[in-house]
Structure 1
Amino acid sequence: MAACDKSALMATTGRLALSLAAIAWFVAAGSPALAQTAQEAPAQTPDQAPNDGPIAEEDRLILDADDIIRDDSNNQIIAQGNVEGRFRDRILRADRAVFDRTSGRVRASGNVQVIEANGDVRYADEIDVAEALDIGFATNVFTRIGRQAIAAAATAERAADGVNIYGQATYTACSFLCADGTRRQPTWVLRSRRAVQDTENGIITHRDAVLAVKGIPIFYAPFFAHPDPEATRRSGLLAPGFGQDRRLGFIYEQPYFWAISPSQDLTLTAQIHTNIRPLLRARYRQKFFSGDVFIEASGTREAQFDNDGFRIDVDGDGLIEREFQGHVFSSGLFDINETFRWGFAGNRSSDDLFLRRYDLPTDGLASAAFFTQPLVLQSNAFFEGQTENFYLRAYTAVFQGQRGFDIQDDTPRVLPAVEAGFRFVDPAFGGDVDLGLSGLILDRDAGPDSRRGSLTGRWTRDLVLGPGIVVEPRLELRGDLFNFDESEIDASEGVFTRGAFLAGGEIRWPLHRPGNRVDLFVEPVFAIGYGEASQDNARIINEDSQAFDVDVSSIFRLNGAPNNDLFQEGLRWIAGARGRVSWAGGSWDVEIGRRWNDDPDPVFDLLSNLSERGSDIVVGSQLRAGERFTQVVRLRVDDDNLAVRRADVTTQIKFWRLTGTANYSRTAPDFAFGAFEADSEASFNTGVQLTRNWSLDGGATFDIDAGEPRGWGVGVTYRDDCTFVRLGVRRTNVEDREFGQGLVFRFEIGLATIGILGAR
């Protein structure tokens, strides 16, 4: 103003309510947004007077300040000193604010803060917003996006479509403060000439992006995109992966995430190689009210190739034939009610080397209710239920071997299997009665087909006599129905039945001696039993009790043969003891046992520990010293010369910055049969926390008999509140047909709110 007209310039101190449709670019958004274009609102001409009609309470701006000045000559309201404006659930604070009633715009400057309804605080030096709320401008912006990300920019604009633009932007998810409150340089920042946040599609894009780690630029991209931290689940491209492989060549992986609905999503990954054709991978997830479904699959049309990436003439006719190759891993689990549930698993590959040929991860290999592993892919469907006194399971299953010696035609299909059990208290003699029902149908393309049905009844009771001696009598009755087709054993052909009984008991005397520093517990155990069956085991095709070993976990079981097909006949007696020494912060548990048979059954092999009149001695030990040291030992010792025939030792340590696990296993040569090989192996895995952020880990597996490692790996990792970086190398010396030794390098970098970039 050229002159000061006191009648037109009045100063007040207090509170003023203004009619606004909005307050600012910051006030407009529940979160900051980035826009590709910004549009200026048409300015009102001086003859357009403000609407003086009724104003709804929710559209009123309540303004507090040390001084509020009404400049009638310029049609402005000026607030100065500790300015605080409240519009709906948002608060604006600044040193100075000017509302131009002519243009309908508000300009705030000086330590501008906007406090959102959820408590988020946004900062700027100056903001300028239109009354319509959808257009705004700010300078020197500093704001938090989501729970962790921080953004700063020289300028920020908000467009009418809710898309925002940052100019000369800096983005990071790292903290600027140390634990003691002092400032620090963030681990990484992403700087860009222009950043656009599309809040509707949940994505932030950067132009001329530079990633700097500890202030050093390490990566440039003319275009870079990542999810908006404040978005829930949005569709879009994910961080790519890179790699180099001896067989596949240079690898580029580009995943795309499709958020189909709040309860389902699909990730499609194009895996491109320089040596062979691309591979398409998919991962689908869906949650239902009663359960969830997971499906992972891959596919390509390519010829088989060897360890060096050369295509193979499989048929030997001089032609390289390309055919479909792929795999599927799937699982589902659903609750019917509190008692019953059902589920399925589908795991299959086009051939038994596909997963290794393409070096695919097997973390998606899953089964809802059965153990499965990469060497034998299992597909099944099941229904089960359980209460305190009842259980039921019915299932079907098929298997696909992934090893060179697996013969698919000999692999059985379970069509189906049923297991049920019911427990109740014996009203006549006391004790518990367990009734069991099971049935099994196995079908093969080659070899015998098996069908079995079993009904079992067991009675047990605990009696305490005299000075605490526990006597547990046991009685078991069983009836079986068998039907075998195409059996190599003539006597097994056709339909026949088997009846069996087992009577016996166990006596144990628990002795406890508490002490001032050490408590002692000793429990001698003796068991005896006698069983008879109407059919010899030699007539039964053993389907469910192959390669078992009576060790310390089952030495006191009266029927040494597990499951249903085999049954141990004759007289047997078992002797052993359990003991425990405990003290403050630690304990040592020991168990030892041995069993004798009056007439060993030749159907049991040496591995079973039932083939001789006297079994090997089995020993188990578990030593704990707080959380720092744990060692578990399981031994099988020759009863003649005390030579160790089988050993498994696992040791875990956790001391200071060191953690580690070591395993040793040995199987005597005379236990080898079929695919079960004698073996002596040692392995270890260890990790060292070098500093607060840096750690080192490594591991190796050694073939003791061959005197060479089967594989080893080592890696170094950096981790802080916003960054994960890992560099590792892994070597394998195990050969599987045309695939032999290999060396794999792996590099991964994970940036919080952005994603994981990986290379192999």
Structure 2
Amino acid sequence: MTRLLGVLWLYVCTYCVLALPAAAQEAAAPPPQPAVLVADDVYIRGDDTLVAEGNVEAMYDGRRLRARRIIYDRAADRLQFDGPLTLFDGDYTVVLAESAQLDRDLQNGILYGARIVMDEQLQLAARQIDRKDGRYSQLYKAAVTSCHVCADGRPPLWQIRARRVVHDMEERQIYLDGAQFLIMDTPVFYFPRLRLPDPSVERATGFLTPSLYNSTLLGFGVKAPYFIKLGDHRDLTLTPYLSTETRTIEFRYRQAFRYGQIEFNGALSNDDLGGRKNRAYVFGNGAFELDNDFVLRFDIEAVNDDAYLDDYGFSDKDRLDSELSIERVRRDEWIRGAITHFHSLRPGESNATLPTIVGNANYERRLFPRALGGELRFSGEAHTHWRSSGLITDGPDFDVFADGRDVNRISASADWRRTWTLIGGVRSTIETGVAVDHFEIEGAGATSSASLTDVTPSAALTLRWPLAKTTARGVSHVIEPVVQLAWVGGDTPNVAIDESTRTEFDEGNLLSLSRFAAPDRRERGMSAAYGLSWARLNPSGLSGALTVGQVVRDRAQREPNGGLTFSKSSGLRGEYSDLLVAAQVETHNGLAVTARGLFDSAFDTTKAEARASWRNDVTNIGATYIWLGRDVAEERPATISEWAFDGSYRFARHWTASAEWRYDVASDRNVKAGVGLKYTNECVDIALSASRRFTSSTILSPSTDISLTVGLRGFSARAADKSYARTCRN
């Protein structure tokens, strides 16, 4: 360290002596900061030449250079380097050369036998590099590639050779003249002029990775996305899709604002596949921060042909919803207002008889009064939905709706809750409240009253007894039995069910006073809910959870006409609910299993679903099973039993295989299947995929799709995962 400091001090003194005359003549201007030089030997030759030899390292203005020898000629104000030399220029560029002549600031000069490596990805090699103003690097007879170049003489997988290459470090662009694209030394394309972004650029105008497609519906075609940078905060991507059966232009527009962002995706097609020759869709969304913590959001979904999204694979949604909302969420307050437009793409559903426009306004507030203790909660809701149909009778479908009924509802409630800890650690919670619902119905016909107000008081007592134990190995076990006794007053109002047509019974609402989806129905009478939960927590091994529960009532929930309110498959239809069983298992090696089911008194399945997945560094596999019994009230005329598989497996360093499959067990037929194969290394991505849709309907036909995508890595595509990179053999 003493020798190093001595060398540094010798250089600083020498530089000051050499620069003293110039400093005396230009006393008004401060001299430039000297470079820092470290070397094994530093000496002065003659009067104007400084020589540094052996492990030389020079640093100036954020740039660092290493070389075997550096000679500084004060008269010419120029540095000569004997290599091999390495120049670290900025945050992401490294220059390697055999020798160089540069000015004192390392901004201008010539490098011989040089190579530029940008962001540890892209390499530019040339016989000579001219540097100018510290901004431009001009290469002659250059080669550009992001593939590993080994010393055994084998050509890289791909490269671009050009007569001249200019790298603009300020604009971060690479310009090529007379460029040839080669694969394994074989010329494939020729470009008189070519501009490419360097790897540090995240957004630059130009073409993105193209793809080849072959579809039984759309024929053989190519997609060539073109990205347009409209500024620092806006961009537009246009993707022409030309095939034997369609002429399509896809688009994506994005814009960021100071307090929000928007994005629109869409397409316009000209084909002969559907009822319309010109088909189009647009999806858009955005969010904006307003004053007082409010957030404004919008979501637009529109299409002019019901089969368009499925035919082109844009989306698998069969009901579109467009919404405008404003919301504020605070610790003890929630405010939200929204208006939503629905459009169904399902065959057999009429948009005239489905609620088309739905409006909601919600308010919820929590208070903690000292006099009462506990928590006091107030909530209010205004709801309306409108149908374009003017019919007042029910049509021949699965709905229980009047085809033209429009509903307006106002609901308000006040609830108080307080919890105590009793002897032995039992947690006791008392809650009570009252709710008021007022309905105004147009076009009700004989299905319900035109105007009605309903008052619903409620009270409940909940007891929990959490028991915990931790073993010597650090594994925690928590067992919690729970029971709830509840009473809900009032009678079922004479209004038709429009909002609560689907009810899900799970561990999340086991202790709810009403399990309906909306206040147009509430559970009435006395009830008891009981359950048991067990959890095993092991930070380094097997963890799991199990929940079992059931609800018992003094009477079944019935409509004013005497019919049962809950659907057959809801699990809540009679005095005794179905038995709810839910379980979860996780292991430290990435295996996770989740299952939930409802079982009747004979332990026959009412509903069941399960999901298993295994994820690690090379594997991501998942399987899902769902079983739903026949239920006309839920628009399900037949039993649904389906398997779904999806996954990927990296079976070699550069190869990854993927697959998906959906199988309808009830109908004994395939629904959808697909396979994919991807090759990735440090300089290329190649993806090949094939998929088959087997289902058909009045607007959909079975189809097979094949796609091929080849992407070159290194140009505005940083490779964060280095595990795919190849290495040269020793």
Q: Which residue of 2 aligns with 1:58?
A: 32
Structure 1 residues 94 and 113, CA gap change in structure 2 (3 angstroms) = farther
**Match for residue 336 of structure 1 among 266, 290, 304:** 290
Distance 1:163 1:596, change over 3 A: same
Residue 730 of structure 1 aligns to which amino acid in structure 2? S
Aligned to 1:750: 711
Q: Residue 670 of structure 2 is aligned with which of 696, 704, 709?
A: 709
Say whether 1:577 aligns with 2:538.
no
Q: 1:285 pairs with 251, 254, 265, which one?
A: 254
Q: Residue 332 of structure 1: CA displacement?
A: 1.3
Match of 1:506 in 2: 462
Q: Deviations over 1:695-745 (max 9, x none)?
A: 323231111122232122222333345543332222221224343222222
| Paired residues of 1:620 and 1:634 also in contact (CA < 8 A) | yes
CA contact (8 A) 2:460 2:485 kept: yes
Asked if 1:603 is matched to 2:565, the reply is yes
2:280–2:308 contact (8 Å) kept in structure 1: yes
Counterpart in the other structure of 1:317:
none
Aligned to 1:39: none
Alpha-carbon distance, 1:680 to partner: 0.6
From 393, 416, 430, the counterpart of 1:459: 416
Change beyond 3 A, Cα 1:217–1:337 = farther
2:345 paired residue number: 402
Change (3 A) 1:544 1:738: closer
Task: Give CA-to-partner distance per residue, 1:344-377, whole Å, 9 cap, x none.
Answer: 11222222222223333x5xxxxxxxxxx72222
Tell me the distance in 2 between the aligned counterparts of 1:467 and 1:90.
Answer: 70
Deviations 1:453-502 (A, max 9, x none): 10011122223333333332222211111111122435332x32111122
> Which amino acid in structure 1 is aligned with residue 167 of structure 2?
Q
Written as runs of structure 1 = structure 2, the 5 A alignment for 1:249-260 is 249-260=219-230
Instruction: For 1:581 and 1:127, locate their aligned partners in 2 and report how far apart those are by CA, in whole Å.
Output: 67
Counterparts in 2 of 1:329 and 1:160: CA distance versus 1, 3 Å: same
Larger deviation, residues 717-726 vs 603-612? 717-726
Q: Does 1:193 align with 2:193?
A: no
CA separation of 1:385 and 1:78: change in aligned 2, threshold 3 A = closer
Shift of the 198–637 alpha-carbon distance from structure 1 to 2, 3 Å rule, reads: same
**Offset, 1:410:** 2.8
Moved more, 389-398 or 665-674: 665-674
| Secondary structure at the counterpart of residue 309 of structure 2 | helix
Q: Is it true that 1:566 corresponds to 2:539 in the alignment?
A: no
Residue among 123, 126, 137 paired with 1:153 = 126
Q: CA deviation at 1:386?
A: 1.7
- Secondary structure of the structure 2 residue equivalent to 1:491: coil
CA offset at residue 449 of structure 1? 1.6
Matches within 5 A, 1:241-390: 241-277=211-247, 279-300=248-269, 302=270, 305-306=272-273, 314=275, 322-323=277-278, 325-336=279-290, 339-360=293-314, 362=315, 374-390=317-333
1:391 to partner: Cα distance: 1.0
- In structure 2, the residue matched to 1:111 is 84
Q: Which amino acid aligns with 1:568?
A: E
The aligned counterpart of 2:728 is none
- How far residue 261 of structure 1 moved from its aligned partner, in angstroms, is 2.0
1:167 — aligned with what? 140
CA displacement at 1:443 relative to structure 2: 1.9
Verify the 8 A CA contact 2:337 2:362 in the aligned structure 1. Answer: yes
Distance, in Å, in 2 between the alignment partners of 1:520 and 1:68 is 77
- Cα–Cα, structure 1 residues 404 and 184, in superposed 2: closer, same or farther, change >3 Å? farther
Deviations 1:625-649 (A, max 9, x none): 334432212111121x211121111
Query: 1:81 Cα deviation (Å)?
Result: 5.3
Other-structure match for 1:210? 181
Aligned residue number for residue 444 of structure 2: 487
Quote the residue 1:543 is aligned against: 498
Which residue is 2:398 aligned to? none
Q: Structure 1 residues 145 and 502, CA, compared in 2 at 3 Å: closer, same or farther? A: same
SS in 2 for 1:489: coil
Q: Which of 689, 692, 708 is matched with 1:731 structurally?
A: 692
TM-score by length of 1: 0.78
Change (3 A) 1:119 1:694: closer
Q: Within 1, Cα distance between the matches of 2:45 and 2:172?
A: 42
SS in 2 for 1:549: coil
Higher relative contact order (CA 8 A, sep 6+): 2
Change (3 A) 1:78 1:593: closer
Q: Which moved more, 1:614-623 or 1:506-515?
A: 506-515
1:189 deviation in Å? Answer: 4.3
Give the deviation of 1:418 after TM superposition. 0.8
The 5 A counterparts of 1:370-449 are: 374-414=317-357, 416-446=359-389, 447-449=404-406
CA drift of 1:615 comes to 1.8
May I ask how many residue pairs the two structures share in their alignment? Answer: 674
Give 1:79 shift.
Answer: 6.3
Give the equivalent residue in structure 1 for 2:210. 240
Contact (CA 8 Å) 1:19, 1:59: kept in 2 or not?
Answer: no
Greater mean deviation of Cα atoms: 386-395 or 502-511: 502-511
Letter in 2 for 1:156: I
Partner residue, 2:587: 625
Return the TM-score normalized by structure 2. Answer: 0.81
Q: What is the CA–CA distance in structure 1 between the aligned matches of 2:515 and 2:169, rounded to whole Å?
A: 66
Q: Distance in 2 between matches of 1:61 and 1:661?
A: 59
CA distance in 1 between counterparts of 2:36 and 2:524 reads 92
Greater shift after overlay, 472-481 or 134-143? Answer: 134-143
* SS of aligned partner of 1:706: coil
8 Å CA contact 1:264, 1:287 repeated in 2: yes
Aligned partners of 1:59 and 1:385: how far apart in 2? 55
Specify the code of the residue in structure 1 equivalent to 2:443. E
Identity percentage of aligned residues: 20
1:199 CA drift (Å): 4.9
Distance change in 2, residues 1:186/1:460 (3 Å)? farther
Residues 1:139 and 2:112 aligned together:
yes
Per mean C-alpha deviation after superposition, the further-off stretch among 146-155 and 115-124 is: 115-124
**1:456 aligned partner, one-letter code:** S
Separation in structure 2 between the aligned mates of residue 668 and residue 483 of structure 1, nearest angstrom: 35
Are 1:613 and 2:586 matched, yes or no?
Answer: no
1:552/1:634 contact within 8 Å kept = no
- Which sits farther off after the overlay, 667-676 or 281-290? 667-676
* Deviation digits for residues 78-107 of structure 1 (CA, Å, limit 9, x no counterpart): 9685688877665665747696979x9877
**RMSD of the TM alignment (CA)?**
4.0
Which residue identity does 2:431 align to in structure 1?
R
SS across alignment from 2:230: strand
For residues 704 and 679 of structure 1, the distance between their equivalents in structure 2, rounded to whole angstroms, comes to 8
Task: State the distance in 1 between where 2:343 and 2:224 align.
Answer: 30
* Structure-2 change in CA distance of 1:465 and 1:88 (3 Å): closer
Compared CA separation, residues 651 and 86, structure 1 to 2 (3 A) = closer
Paired amino acid for 2:299: A
1:680 aligns with 2:680: no
**Structure 1 residues 156, 422: CA separation in 2 closer, same or farther (over 3 Å shift)?**
same
> In structure 2, what is the equivalent of residue 524 of structure 1?
481
Q: Secondary structure at the match of 1:57?
A: coil
Of 529, 533, 543, the residue aligned with 2:490 is: 533
Report the equivalent of 1:554: 509
Contact 2:212–2:709 (CA under 8 A) maintained in structure 1: no
User: 2-side partners of 1:590 and 1:132: how far apart?
Assistant: 69
Closer, same or farther: CA 233–589 of 1 in aligned 2, 3 Å = closer
Match of 1:366?
A: none
Aligned-partner residue type, residue 274 of structure 1: T
